[in-house]
Amino acid sequence: MTLYIRRESSKLWKRFCSEITTEIGLLAENWKYLLAGLICQYIHGLAAKGVHYIHRPGPTLQDLGFFLLPELGQERSYISETVFTSVFVSFFLWTFHPFILKTKKIYTVLIWCRVLAFLVACQFLRVITFYSTQLPGPNYHCREGSKVSTLPWPKSALEVLEINPHGVMYGCGDLIFSSHMIFTLVFVRTYQKYGTKRFIKLFGWLIAIVQSLLIIASRKHYSVDVVVAWYTVNLVVFCIDKKLPELPDRTAVLLPVITKDRTKEENHKLLNGNGVDPADWRPRAQVNGKIDSNSVHTDNSMNGA
């Protein structure tokens, strides 16, 4: 048992080291795209914080989803955040599965370059929408009477440039597009194309639907924010995916063309009744492990005599 564990650990370590070498090479070629994607995530955070300064609370807009779905309440708002965190962590861990598992279909660096491209395009459209029209936020901390419904005017430029994690969770004004749905749908669509487990694909779409309903029931967004995210994210991902080069499939094993052609030729001879030359069946004399082609001619000459 100990020998088996040691052998498997050695294989896992070799696989991990081999994957590290491969991914480092890909990172050296594509680090600019990853860095640009991360910078755009920071800019998106700044934009969401900026619209919080100009947010003005007001009466909650009439919403069909608010009438149809029961309100979870402020004390149960953690449910939608828990679901979203589970989706985010699960997808993040899945992108690193080639370092451990034998079934490798993706490269971690290349898949994140693709995911960040989808996120940046969707978030760019999102920033345009919530700066074009400011709506009163439906969330509890964005309503009239709340002290954090509008951020106090910044005292320095450094205060504007810093991203407060508390502010990310309790932002106001970044509506007409759900940020959580952008991430969820991008992750689910990416696994739909590059994942291997059909059950997980179906489960991912089910979680996306549940996440949509929880966002509305938690009053974090209006129904229109979720609806716009559903058709916009899918459309953006579809269009960008057509423009980007296809990722190499690591599971594809290509056979040599010459072997395939040779097999077809031999099968064709057998079907036509033309078998292989009987001379090829005769044993060859070997000298020092090599086939002596002259022995075949010698045998034929002796049989003729």
Q: Which residues are catalytic?
A: 180, 221, 225
Do 114 and 247 meet the contact criterion of CB atoms below 8 Å apart? yes
Residue 95, classed as helix, strand or coil, is: coil
Residue type, 45: G
User: Bridge-partner residues for 287, per DSSP?
Assistant: 290
Do 1 and 81 meet the contact criterion of CB atoms below 8 Å apart? no
Beta strand 286-287 with 290-291 is antiparallel
Residue type, 71: E
Residue type, 58: G
Cα–Cα distance measured from residue 177 to residue 195, given in angstroms and rounded to the nearest whole number: 27
DSSP assignment string, 38-51: HHHHHHHHHHHHHH
Tokens in use for 103? 């079934």
Cα–Cα distance measured from residue 20 to residue 45, given in angstroms and rounded to the nearest whole number: 31
Alpha carbon of 80 to those of 217, 221, 249: distances in Å?
Answer: 9, 12, 35
Do 37 and 117 meet the contact criterion of CB atoms below 8 Å apart? yes
DSSP assignment string, 244-270: SPPPP-TT--PPPHHHHHHHHHHHHHH
Do 66 and 189 meet the contact criterion of CB atoms below 8 Å apart? no
Do 85 and 232 meet the contact criterion of CB atoms below 8 Å apart? no
